[in-house]
Structures are given as structure tokens and as C-alpha cells.
């Protein structure tokens, strides 16, 4: 049975393997940057953090795979996701403001003078770092040729 499994995986073409590794690395980087710091700050045990990390990667893999099907959708989704997550990471890490309905009320009901007190170089750096990660993954995504989605219910030459 194991020998049969290895022969099926050896038939996978390079593009499929590159696409799989790209999405896996993207989800790992995203989880390490933006999902796991919330759990560490809560002081959860290491076993729980590892479990959440694995679940986060599996969940994000599906989301990012769908976004990767089209390079333009991926570009827009990556820029919005990484940039906004950078800003939210700053709010949670340095101002102890979590993402909830109160956060949205605060953002939409503030005036310019209140917002100017929150905007500083550190917040802009978080936005910039998120934007740079998005650009890096967009450029990398455009170099990888994603295999087409194939129909059928049996194992084909691709993971997808």
C-alpha cells in the first residue's frame, strides 16, 4: 500500500508540487505572523498553540488556494489581507484592542484628531511590512504556473 502511494506521488508534475509548496509556505508565514501571536499573548499551553497552528494552516490553505486560482484575485486578496492584518496586529499587540464590533465602531466614529494620536511610525511600519509580504508573495505567485483544476473522482497527476 505504501509503495503504491509513493508511485502515485512520484507521478506529480513540478508545477503541481511548486503550487502546493507555495501555498503551504504562504499559509505558514501568514499563521506565524498574524494568527499565532494572538494565542501566545493569551498564555495558552504549547500543545494548544501547536494544535491551533496546524488547524490554522489547514484552514488558510483552502482560503489561499481559492485565491490563487486567479492571479488578479490573489493580488487584491493578498494586499488587503496582509496589510489589514499588519494593522490589526499592531492594535492588538501594542494597544490591547481586539477585533470585535467595538473596533469597527471606533474606526468609523473617530475624527481626525483622535486618529492622528493613534497613527505613528510603528503602525505605519506594520502596514508596510504587511504590504511588502503581500508584494513578495504576489511576485512569487506570478512565477508559478498553477495546474488547471481537473474533474473526475479518482486520483490524477495533481494534488488539486
Q: Is residue 58 over pLDDT 80?
A: yes
Span of 83-92, 111-120, 122-131 with lowest mean pLDDT: 111-120
**DSSP assignment letter at 158:** S
Return d(Cα 25, Cα 18) in angstroms, integer: 10
Contacts of 18 (CB under 8 A, 6+ apart): 144, 145
pLDDT of residue 18: 84
| Spatial CA neighbour of 57 closest among 23, 93, 86, 87 | 23
Model confidence band, residue 51 (pLDDT cutoffs 50, 70, 90): very high
Q: What is the pTM of this model?
A: 0.75
Q: What phi, psi does 87 have (nearest 5°)?
A: -65, -40
User: Could you please report the per-residue DSSP string of 80-147?
Assistant: HHHHHHHHHHHHHHHH---SSHHHHHHHHH--HHHHHHH--HHHHHHHHHHHHHHHHHHHHHHHS-PP
More reliable by pLDDT, 69 or 82 = 82
Q: Is residue 75 over pLDDT 90?
A: yes
Contacts of 91 (CB under 8 A, 6+ apart): 97, 99, 103
Mean pLDDT, residues 109-133 taken together: 85
Return d(Cα 139, Cα 80) in angstroms, integer: 16
pLDDT of residue 153: 47
pLDDT in tens, 2-34: 556 556 656 667 777 888 889 999 999 998 888
Q: Is residue 70 over pLDDT 50?
A: yes
Amino acid at each position: 500500500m505504501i509503495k503504491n502511494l509513493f508511485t502515485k506521488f512520484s507521478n506529480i508534475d513540478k508545477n503541481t508540487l511548486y503550487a502546493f509548496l507555495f501555498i503551504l509556505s504562504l499559509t505558514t508565514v501568514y499563521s506565524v505572523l498574524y494568527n499565532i501571536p494572538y494565542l501566545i499573548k493569551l498564555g495558552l499551553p504549547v500543545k494548544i498553540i501547536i494544535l491551533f497552528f496546524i488547524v490554522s494552516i489547514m484552514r488558510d490553505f483552502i482560503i489561499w488556494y481559492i485565491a490563487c486560482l486567479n492571479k488578479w484575485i490573489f493580488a487584491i486578496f493578498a494586499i488587503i489581507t496582509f496589510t489589514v492584518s499588519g494593522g490589526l496586529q499592531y492594535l492588538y499587540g501594542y494597544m490591547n484592542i481586539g477585533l470585535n464590533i467595538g473596533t469597527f465602531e471606533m474606526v468609523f466614529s473617530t475624527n481626525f484628531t483622535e486618529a492622528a494620536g493613534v497613527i505613528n511610525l510603528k503602525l505605519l511600519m506594520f502596514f508596510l511590512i504587511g504590504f511588502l509580504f503581500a508584494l513578495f508573495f504576489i511576485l512569487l505567485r506570478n512565477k508559478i504556473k498553477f495546474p488547471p483544476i481537473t474533474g473526475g473522482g479518482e486520483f490524477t497527476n495533481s494534488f488539486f
